[in-house]
């Protein structure tokens, strides 16, 4: 728990100063809580002395006492307010920065990182885990550190009147801190065991449910229920153990504080009886002994929250330690846009998907990649965009290895349009401007016109300000595709990659999309993964991929004349497209 606290403080980074000043306010706030008690004791002392006739009390003193109380209460509110303003916003500001930072990190890691760590977990880290932080980090700092500051300030006040009482209080706090340490140590140890038991419980329930048909069919309930029963029993045993472990440690923590309170009352009572302490001071000590530990007593309630924070922190750290794919790269611009793959091998994990892939694409030419599904076409494009790094061989743009560019400087030169369009939950305008955020309105509309989407956008009641649902819910597939092409046209990158951009739209939309694509590809170095004969026929070069190898390469005429995969492909396609034309009549 205290270790987690230390990590939180470290996490606040440049806000640390504000955090510490907040602690100072917190300290002053406690002093102002203690002042009324001390003031009351003094006042009582005067009253007693007055009643004994030792001194003569003036009525004005009562006014002073009242004023003192008012000042103390106001001071307490003031410092509590100051503490909140200094500390509480830290978490919000810091998590906002953190979200942006993580976004920047994720932009620069290999896509393999997302395959290895499931995307749900990463999304969870950025949303839920950071929210846990946002909500609890500062609150817990106040609960835990604040509690110790509170008790320290109180002990200082005690010290002012009676060093013995201060010493007892100190010993009580130290002892309780020790037992709290035991609580958090055992709870972090137990949480591992608990997680394991939980997992095995879930697994056996799933197994039971999956196998239920078999169980019923063979009348074997007895056997299969045993697995579940065992898992439940184990789970129950562990929970009881965790509870017992907690109870005695937590009990000792509470008892240390209670004993210290009792000790203070006893010692001061003895001193008072021996006449070494005035009666009002003794009474004040008794009051102090009640409020002294009130906050430290609550500290263990935060143990669970601290555990949550700790887990969140570990996950975030794992993301932050992810390896950048482009460390050591420069922000260079390529000299030209000739593309060359030489002897590229690539595997996803241990699954080798590309073997010795070599080809060249001259600047300004159009290349089509064809091949059966799963042969590695998309992978070739992903490697060019450096979503992954090659295992061996090299990929160059303008003679420079893609590994020498930063992700931003490489991707600045590439526009990609995919079969599955992803549009952001934002306005159409912002979706188009995504590739060029500073584009002027006319520029944006020009791009939309070229992409053949200006007309349907203008027909929408809110035009370019229409919000798009998650993934583009409210638009048709073809419309979404054209918006994504407008985005690419506006970006105006010299290299254009189209991955089955027209594969899943109806013929009418396909015609419009083809027109949009022609606009996009004008004068660009174009790589198309396509099935349509019309698209492939006009390419300057066709690469035929089969099981991760380039098996044929050339123009349509040459390849169609040869026996092989390409000719088979063309024949099947012609039959399919021919069938569709007649089918549509």
As measured in angstroms, the least distance from the Cβ of 150 to ligand ADP is: 54
Q: Residue 95: enclosing H or E segment and its boundaries? A: helix 59-107
In the bound state with ligand ADP, the residue whose beta carbon lies nearer, of 64 and 348, is 348
Residue 348 interaction partner, one of ligand ADP, Mg ion, none, beta carbon < 5-8 Å per kind: ligand ADP
In the bound state with Mg ion, the residue whose beta carbon lies nearer, of 374 and 564, is 374
CA 403 from centre of chain: 27
Residue 373 interaction partner, one of ligand ADP, Mg ion, none, beta carbon < 5-8 Å per kind: ligand ADP
Nearest Cα residue to 9 out of 122, 112, 90: 90
In the bound state with ligand ADP, the residue whose beta carbon lies nearer, of 251 and 374, is 374
As measured in angstroms, the least distance from the Cβ of 115 to ligand ADP is: 5
Largest Cα–Cα separation, the chain: 126
Residue 280 interaction partner, one of ligand ADP, Mg ion, none, beta carbon < 5-8 Å per kind: none
Residues near ligand ADP, by CB under 6 A: 115, 348, 351, 353, 371, 373-379
Q: Hey, what are 315's tokens?
A: 């996950």
* Cross-strand bridge partners of residue 427: 467
Nearest Cα residue to 288 out of 271, 264, 270, 266: 264
As measured in angstroms, the least distance from the Cβ of 181 to Mg ion is: 55
| Binding to Mg ion, residues 343-402 (CB under 5 A) | 378
As measured in angstroms, the least distance from the Cβ of 549 to ligand ADP is: 12
Residue 473 interaction partner, one of Mg ion, ligand ADP, none, beta carbon < 5-8 Å per kind: none
Number of residues that bind Mg ion (CB under 5 A): 1
Nearest Cα residue to 526 out of 501, 558, 506, 560: 501
Q: 574: Cβ–Cβ under 8 A, 6 or more apart, which residues?
A: 533
In the bound state with ligand ADP, the residue whose beta carbon lies nearer, of 388 and 405, is 388
Q: Hey, what are 120's tokens?
A: 């749900």
As measured in angstroms, the least distance from the Cβ of 377 to ligand ADP is: 3
CA 485 from centre of chain: 30
In the bound state with Mg ion, the residue whose beta carbon lies nearer, of 39 and 371, is 371
- Closest residue to bound Mg ion by CB: 378
Q: Residue 409: enclosing H or E segment and its boundaries? A: helix 407-411
Q: Hey, what are 426's tokens?
A: 């934002």
Residue 176 interaction partner, one of Mg ion, ligand ADP, none, beta carbon < 5-8 Å per kind: none
Q: Hey, what are 457's tokens?
A: 């956008």
From the CA atom positions of the chain, what is the Rg in Å? 36
In the bound state with Mg ion, the residue whose beta carbon lies nearer, of 378 and 552, is 378
Nearest Cα residue to 122 out of 325, 322, 421, 388: 322
Residue 21 interaction partner, one of Mg ion, ligand ADP, none, beta carbon < 5-8 Å per kind: none
As measured in angstroms, the least distance from the Cβ of 258 to ligand ADP is: 60
As measured in angstroms, the least distance from the Cβ of 351 to ligand ADP is: 6
Q: 15: Cβ–Cβ under 8 A, 6 or more apart, which residues?
A: 90, 93, 94
CA distance 509 to 476: 10
Backbone angles phi, psi at 445, to 5 degrees: -65, -40
In the bound state with ligand ADP, the residue whose beta carbon lies nearer, of 358 and 518, is 358
In the bound state with Mg ion, the residue whose beta carbon lies nearer, of 141 and 378, is 378
CA distance 523 to 366: 10
Query: Residue 535, interface with Mg ion (CB under 5 A)?
Result: no
As measured in angstroms, the least distance from the Cβ of 578 to ligand ADP is: 24
In the bound state with ligand ADP, the residue whose beta carbon lies nearer, of 33 and 375, is 375
Backbone angles phi, psi at 325, to 5 degrees: -80, -25
CA 505 from centre of chain: 35
Residue 374 interaction partner, one of ligand ADP, Mg ion, none, beta carbon < 5-8 Å per kind: ligand ADP
As measured in angstroms, the least distance from the Cβ of 499 to ligand ADP is: 7
Interface positions with Mg ion (CB under 5 A): 378
């Amino acid at each position: 728990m205290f270790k987690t606290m230390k990590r939180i403080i470290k996490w606040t980074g440049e806000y640390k100063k504000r955090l510490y000043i907040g602690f100072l306010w917190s300290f002053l706030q406690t002093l102002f809580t203690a002042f009324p008690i001390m003031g009351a004791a003094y006042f009582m002392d005067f009253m007693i002395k007055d009643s004994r006739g030792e001194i003569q009390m003036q009525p004005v003193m009562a006014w002073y006492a009242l004023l003192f109380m008012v000042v103390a209460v106001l001071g307490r509110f003031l410092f509590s307010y100051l503490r909140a303003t200094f500390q509480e916003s830290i978490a919000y500001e810091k998590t906002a920065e953190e979200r942006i930072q993580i976004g920047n990190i994720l932009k620069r890691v290999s896509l393999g990182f997302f395959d290895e760590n499931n995307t749900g977990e990463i999304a969870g880290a950025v949303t839920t885990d950071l929210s846990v932080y946002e909500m609890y980090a500062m609150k817990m700092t106040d609960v835990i550190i604040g509690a110790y500051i509170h008790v320290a300030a109180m002990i200082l006040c005690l010290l002012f009147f009676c060093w013995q009482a201060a010493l007892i209080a100190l010993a009580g706090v130290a002892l309780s801190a020790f037992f709290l340490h035991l609580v958090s140590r055992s709870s972090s140890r137990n949480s591992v065991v608990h997680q394991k038991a939980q997992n095995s419980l879930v697994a056996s329930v799933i197994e039971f449910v999956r196998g239920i048909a078999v169980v019923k069919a063979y009348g074997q309930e007895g056997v299969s229920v045993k697995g579940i029963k065992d898992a439940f029993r184990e789970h129950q045993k562990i929970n009881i153990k965790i509870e017992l472990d907690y109870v005695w440690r937590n009990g000792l923590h509470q008892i240390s504080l209670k004993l210290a309170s009792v000790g203070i009352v006893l010692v001061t009572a003895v001193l008072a009886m021996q006449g070494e302490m005035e009666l009002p001071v003794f009474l004040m000590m008794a009051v102090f002994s009640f409020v002294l530990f009130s906050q430290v007593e609550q500290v263990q309630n935060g143990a669970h929250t601290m555990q949550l924070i700790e887990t969140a922190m570990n996950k975030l750290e794992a993301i932050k330690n992810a390896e950048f794919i482009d460390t050591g790269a420069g922000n260079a611009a390529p000299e030209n846009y000739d593309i060359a793959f030489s002897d590229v091998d690539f595997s996803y994990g241990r699954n080798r998907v590309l073997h010795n892939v070599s080809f060249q694409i001259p600047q300004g030419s159009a290349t089509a990649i064809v091949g059966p599904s799963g042969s590695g076409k998309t992978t070739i494009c992903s490697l060019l965009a450096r979503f992954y790094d090659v295992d061996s061989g090299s990929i160059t743009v303008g003679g420079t290895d893609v590994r020498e560019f930063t992700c931003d400087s490489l991707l600045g030169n590439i526009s990609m349009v995919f079969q599955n369009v992803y549009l952001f939950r934002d306005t159409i305008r912002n979706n188009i401007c995504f590739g060029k955020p500073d584009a002027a309105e006319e520029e944006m509309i020009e791009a939309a016109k070229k992409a053949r989407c200006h007309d349907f956008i203008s027909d929408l009641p809110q035009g370019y300000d229409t919000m798009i649902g998650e993934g583009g819910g409210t638009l048709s597939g073809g419309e979404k595709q054209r918006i994504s092409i407008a985005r690419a046209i506006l970006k105006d990158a010299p290299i254009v990659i189209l991955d089955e951009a027209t594969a899943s739209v109806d013929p009418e939309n396909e015609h419009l999309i083809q027109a949009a694509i022609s606009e996009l590809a004008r004068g660009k170095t174009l790589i198309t993964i396509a099935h349509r004969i019309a698209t492939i026929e006009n390419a300057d070069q066709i690469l035929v991929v089969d099981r991760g190898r380039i098996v044929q390469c050339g123009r349509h005429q040459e390849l169609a004349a040869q026996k092989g995969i390409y000719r088979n492909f063309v024949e099947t396609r012609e039959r399919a497209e021919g069938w569709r034309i007649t089918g549509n009549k």
